[in-house]
Structure 1
Amino acid sequence: MTPRWELVGGRNVGDFKTHVDQACRAAEEFVNIYYETMDKRRRALTRLYLDKATLIWNGNVVTGLEALTNFFDMLPSSEFQVNMLDCQPVHEQATQAQTTVLVVTSGTVKFDGNKQHYFNQNFLLTAQSNPQNTVWKIASDCFRFQDWAST
């Protein structure tokens, strides 16, 4: 009989730790690719998204690759600096058994012609597998400026 403290959500803690480690490795790699692409090769950014992905940018909803392409084309050039990264696997009951990772980032961004802003961004990444490999794609992306109001 397995002691209760070795189970997390019905899984063995070792299995859970493996999932967390895999999620963190995927998240770190993803964050490096995403922000470098955003800053230097923005036209390729939509390759990281699912066809029906949704972006919420400061409350504005953008859905689908064509709309995402148009939205990203409108943004001025950027310089992102990620200061914090957190990630965790999402329980498969919440994602219909789709391997999914929640990635949370925060940092600063300066868009050309604008002052620097603090930002917070959350991604839901899903694993898309084919016979050769597994690729992580963005299913949902929520970006928000986090600047404090001047008093």
Structure 2
Amino acid sequence: MDWTDEKHVRRALLVFEDYIRTYRDPSEEGTPRWLVDIKVCLDRDGYHLNDEGQISWINPPVLVRDLSGLNDPSGIVVELERIRHDLTTDPQGAIGAAKQLIEATAKTALRELGVVVEKKPDVPILVAMVHKELRLDAASAPDGPDGDGAL
């Protein structure tokens, strides 16, 4: 088990869900002590156990790759944290933070590439600038095998 791997953790949680559903006696009055203990442990670790025996995140984490190679990833980190926080409590806020994350990522990429952004362009313009600098735009693509330009 690699407890730092989200897929491994999810697989372990599925085993726990199966155990809970298998050994819970629906005819038993109230919640059995062992199930209360499991709920307390899960809550402590940021999980919720519902009445059907399903385990879910209380506040889902946003997994980030290592950003230490960037000069200033703070804008990205702030928006990722906002998304993580708002995901279960304020979905509209999470959507707004996702837009802000795209903007922060584009600005960070441009700074890392040495491109100065003078004014405050809209997000599509920022993304187009990054595509151009990284040569991911259509104009940078080589001609097709028949000599026609990129589609």
What TM-score, normalized by structure 1, do the two folds share?
Answer: 0.24
Structure with greater Cα Rg: 2
Higher-RCO chain (CA-CA 8 Å, sequence separation at least 6): 1
